Amino acid sequence: MSESISIEDIVAGARLLAFGLRPKQVPSRDLDYAGLVKRAVEDDAFRELTDAIAEGLGLTVLAVSARTGMVLGPAEESVFEQRFDDYARRAMTGERRDLERVLHGVAHIAVAALAFPRPDDLASETYVGRVSVEQVDTVVREACLMLATRAAEAEEAGDPLDDAPELERVWRVYSRRPEAMRTKDGRLSPSTTRGIISKALKFLAEQGFLARMSDADGGTYRTTPRYQVQVRELAAGRAFAELLALQVVTVTDPSGSLHIVPAGDGRSGDV
């Protein structure tokens, strides 16, 4: 890094990070933001300075471009870290609270896998994924059925899966939870699987990762470039890979339209 760093440079780098911390802010709608992004892309010294400031704040720069803006990820134990326990918190203790975390984790992994079901989708700047509450719930329930079948077949063959207890915990918890149920005031109960998925999609929209398109199918959303960057990080995870490996979903339209493929009957339904 150049030693001729000015106070103005430091302020500019910090301002760029501040833009990145505003999830719905995009360079195309703010000339100041666009100018700082352009500088970070073209000026290696400024980008290095910005990365250093981010590191000091407990942040990692995942991407910076005119398309994505400044995309940041929190380091472990960072003040900016979104703890999953806090996100999935319920007025429960012991085993029930653990089960809630499992359900919320499954919802987020499923949304990411359905939004970008192929490696090429994560690399393409033109790909836009679409997800809905009903779609995610249907696909996860199908995955639960496939996991249950796979575990049962392995046990019958006398060769139980090494990770069967963990897999069983996931599919049993999800499949036993009701899909939808209304509260006394007519709202979707947050403890149902569709309530959990709806919370996940709304949270991602608040973070600038998804954009709501309509109320169809419990709420339909499209992906944003910021989410594409985030999912690239998630895609290396085992759970994400295993869900895709079940091959519950096929892509039929490169524009981002997905079809759910139900097991057994060979028919497919548009989402």
- Is residue 217 assigned to a domain? yes
165-191 pLDDT, tens digit per residue, is 555 566 777 888 888 877 766 677 777
In this model, does residue 130 exceed pLDDT 60? yes
Rounded to 5 degrees, φ, ψ at 240 are -60, -45
Average pLDDT, the chain: 79
Burial category of 60 from C-beta neighbours within 10 Å (exposed 0-12, middle 13-18, buried 19 and up) = middle
**Residues 109 and 211 occupy one common structural domain:** yes
Q: How many domains does the chain have?
A: 2
The pLDDT of residue 269 is 34
**Residues 264 and 201 occupy one common structural domain:** yes
The pLDDT of residue 111 is 92
Per-residue pLDDT averaged across 127-144, rounded? 91
Task: Evaluate whether 73 touches 226 at the Cβ level (below 8 Å).
Answer: no
Which pair of structure tokens corresponds to residue 22?
């505003």
The pLDDT of residue 117 is 85
Please tell me whether residue 250 adopts helix, strand or coil conformation. strand
**Residues 35 and 127 occupy one common structural domain:** no
> d(Cα 74, Cα 64) in Å, to the nearest integer?
15
C-alpha angle 150-152-158 in degrees, rounded to nearest 5? 105
**Residues 131 and 246 occupy one common structural domain:** yes
The pLDDT of residue 161 is 54
- Is residue 189 assigned to a domain? yes
211-266 pLDDT, tens digit per residue, is 999 999 999 999 999 999 988 876 666 666 666 666 555 444 444 433 333 333 33
Rounded to 5 degrees, φ, ψ at 159 are -135, 65
In this model, does residue 44 exceed pLDDT 50? yes
**Residues 37 and 139 occupy one common structural domain:** no
CA proximity to 70, closest of 152, 131, 145, 12:
12
- Is residue 80 assigned to a domain? no
Of 21, 46, 74, the position where a domain reaches its end is 74
**Residues 218 and 102 occupy one common structural domain:** yes
- Is residue 79 assigned to a domain? no
Per-residue pLDDT averaged across 110-138, rounded? 90
- Is residue 81 assigned to a domain? no
**Residues 37 and 127 occupy one common structural domain:** no
Task: Evaluate whether 137 touches 219 at the Cβ level (below 8 Å).
Answer: no
Which residue has better confidence, 250 or 141? 141
In this model, does residue 153 exceed pLDDT 90? no
**Residues 134 and 266 occupy one common structural domain:** yes
Which residue has better confidence, 121 or 3? 121
**Residues 103 and 51 occupy one common structural domain:** no
65-101 pLDDT, tens digit per residue, is 999 999 998 887 788 877 666 666 643 434 466 677 7
> d(Cα 22, Cα 64) in Å, to the nearest integer?
14
C-alpha angle 205-207-208 in degrees, rounded to nearest 5? 65
Look up the domain containing 240 and give its range. 87-270
Confidence tier at 1 by pLDDT (50, 70, 90): low
pLDDT above 70 covers a percentage of the chain that reads 71
**Counting runs of H as helices and runs of E as strands, what totals does the chain give?**
11, 8
> d(Cα 49, Cα 55) in Å, to the nearest integer?
10
**Residues 125 and 235 occupy one common structural domain:** yes
Helix axes 31-42, 7-20, angle to 10 degrees: 110
Please tell me whether residue 167 adopts helix, strand or coil conformation. helix
- Is residue 21 assigned to a domain? yes
